[in-house]
């Protein structure tokens, strides 16, 4: 039975990789063909709806040939990675606006930015999976890093801080005599590396299934280019998304610590049993925090207006 499952898994990898590669290739071909045209709101809406629908459909189908836990792990991972990608997109907005990149050039800039993000995620996933396989105590490092990131993000607390950091990077590259488009690609690549460092420990805190990790990341990154043109000013209204992300990362960091203790056969400390947080509980926390952060942001910004 184990061998049969292995064959199915290999077949699933090949089929999934082929389908996703075709979808991504079609999207990129469309972007290159329309690189000199502005993306309309209708076009961005349709593409964004398509990619979200594909992710949901994939998650539902995943449960039909695996199990409920794997399905929940995918949705938890996809929501977390999508949220982090959304935050990544905010930085893209800052970079492209600071550099005054023309609307027609944004297609290619975003295209390359997302490709770079995809490459760095795959590299980080490969390294992360190898580290976990060899050293289970690496979960302590992942957990500590996520908690540190969560605290830093929560205390940083403002989009102005992000703008200040990106501005310094842009000014440095400008001083080196680089052209705006080249600076945009380098800045996007630099931010992709930073976000990969956050996102990979976060999703490994939800699942160790590499298939789920890879597919959740790809579905989270697909459609970001269209989402950029869709949300526009809405990003300025989601003022608490950063806070929500910090809570999610902190929660996953704590969960990783619990998991690491169990992995090294420590199941209680000072007579207190170390809890084992289920994926259902994790998914509930992620959905709940994102919903509260989104609704709170829209309500507060609406009142300010």
**In the chain, how many domains are there?**
1
Does residue 103 carry a pLDDT above 70?
Answer: no
Q: Please report which residue ranges of the chain form alpha helices under DSSP H.
A: 2-33, 41-65, 68-98, 103-134, 138-156, 159-175, 180-204, 210-221, 224-231, 234-237, 241-263, 279-304
Q: For residue 8, give the 3-state DSSP assignment.
A: helix
- The residue to which tokens 């989402």 are assigned: 227
Q: What is the pLDDT of residue 161?
A: 52
More confident residue, 40 or 167: 40
Computed over every residue of the chain, the mean pLDDT equals 77
pLDDT band for position 79 (cuts 50, 70, 90): confident
Q: Is 132 left (phi over 0), alpha (psi -120 to 50) or beta?
A: alpha
| Consecutive H or E run containing 265 | none
Does residue 166 carry a pLDDT above 70?
Answer: no
Q: Is 100 left (phi over 0), alpha (psi -120 to 50) or beta?
A: left
Kindly give the pairing relationship between strand 272-273 and strand 268-269: antiparallel
Which of 27-41, 102-116, 260-274 is predicted most confidently?
Answer: 260-274
| Domain carrying residue 123 | 2-304
Does residue 235 carry a pLDDT above 70?
Answer: no
More confident residue, 18 or 170: 18
pTM over 0.85: no
The residues with which 273 forms a beta bridge, in sequence order, are: 268
């Amino acid at each position: 039975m184990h061998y049969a499952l292995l064959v199915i898994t290999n077949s699933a990898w090949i089929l999934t990789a082929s389908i996703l590669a075709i979808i991504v290739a079609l999207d990129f071909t469309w972007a290159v063909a329309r690189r000199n045209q502005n993306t309309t709101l209708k076009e961005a809406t349709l593409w964004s709806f398509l990619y979200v629908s594909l992710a949901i459909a994939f998650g539902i189908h995943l449960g039909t040939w695996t199990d409920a836990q794997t399905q929940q792990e995918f949705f938890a991972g996809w929501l977390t990675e999508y949220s982090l990608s959304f935050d990544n997109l905010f930085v893209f907005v800052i970079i492209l606006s600071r550099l005054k990149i023309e609307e027609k050039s944004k297609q290619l800039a975003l295209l390359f930015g997302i490709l770079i993000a995809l490459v760095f995620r795959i590299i980080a996933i490969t390294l992360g999976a190898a580290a976990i396989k060899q050293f289970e105590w690496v979960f302590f490092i992942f957990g500590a890093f996520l908690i540190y990131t969560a605290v830093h993000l929560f205390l940083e607390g403002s989009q102005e801080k992000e703008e200040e950091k990106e501005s310094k990077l842009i000014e440095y590259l400008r001083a080196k005599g680089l052209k705006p488009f080249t600076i945009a690609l380098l800045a996007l690549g630099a931010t992709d590396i930073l976000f990969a460092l956050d996102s990979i420990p976060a999703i490994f805190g939800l699942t160790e299934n590499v298939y789920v990790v890879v597919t959740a990341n790809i579905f989270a990154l697909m459609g970001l280019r269209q989402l950029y043109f869709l949300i526009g000013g809405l990003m300025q209204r989601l003022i608490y998304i950063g806070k929500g992300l910090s809570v999610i990362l902190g929660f996953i960091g704590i969960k990783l610590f619990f998991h690491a203790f169990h992995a090294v056969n420590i199941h209680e400390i000072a007579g207190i049993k170390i809890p084992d947080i289920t994926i259902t509980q994790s998914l509930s926390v992620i959905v709940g925090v994102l919903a509260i952060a989104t609704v709170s942001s829209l309500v507060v910004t609406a009142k300010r207006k």
